[in-house]
Amino acid sequence: MHSFWTLDEARAVVAAVQPGTRVVMVGAGFISFTILNAILSRGALLTIVEVAPRILPRMVDETCAQIVARWLEKHGVTLRVGATLTKIEEWKGRRKLSFKKGDPIFADAVIMATGIKTNLEWLEGSGIEVSAEPGGGVLVTITCARA
């Protein structure tokens, strides 16, 4: 199991990946895509798991996500979107990832690249308006004045 937040963690991930290593990356956003090519170039068999209904859910629209998904699949990446991970456990020297729906996935290495969860609770009652959307933030109004 690997996290991926620092350069040293990224180096540890890449060092653990050899040709034929079955790697599962949990999360299909910015963090995952910063290391994806390094994993593929080392000959890994990569599966990307995303809870959202498509990859890159906070970065691009549906059309762009489909283009990127086709590129990934062309390069041997298996995608599993709309998948809620429920458990990761040891299984015969490997990792077994179980899901709310569907078959488990077995991996030699798991990379947790799920990003962050916005913490806005501390703003409750402050009068600052926040988005009710998942992953939302502080709402702002931008006005442009002409000089």
Task: Kindly report, residue by residue over 26-50, the tens digit of the pLDDT.
Answer: 999 888 888 888 899 999 999 999 9
The pLDDT value given to residue 41: 92
The pLDDT value given to residue 70: 97
Angle of the 7-16 helix axis to the 30-41 helix axis, nearest 10: 40
How confident is the prediction for the chain on average, in pLDDT? 88
The residue ranking higher by pLDDT, 145 or 89, is 89
At residue 3, φ and ψ (nearest 5 deg) are -95, 170
Percent of the chain that is helix, strand, coil (3-state, to 5): 25, 25, 50
State the burial class of residue 92 (Cβ atoms within 10 Å of its Cβ: 0-12, 13-18, 19+): exposed
- The total of other beta-carbon atoms located within 10 Å of residue 38's CB is 14
The pLDDT value given to residue 113: 85
pLDDT at residue 135 is higher than 70: no
Please give the structure tokens belonging to residue 135: 């992953």
The pLDDT value given to residue 140: 81
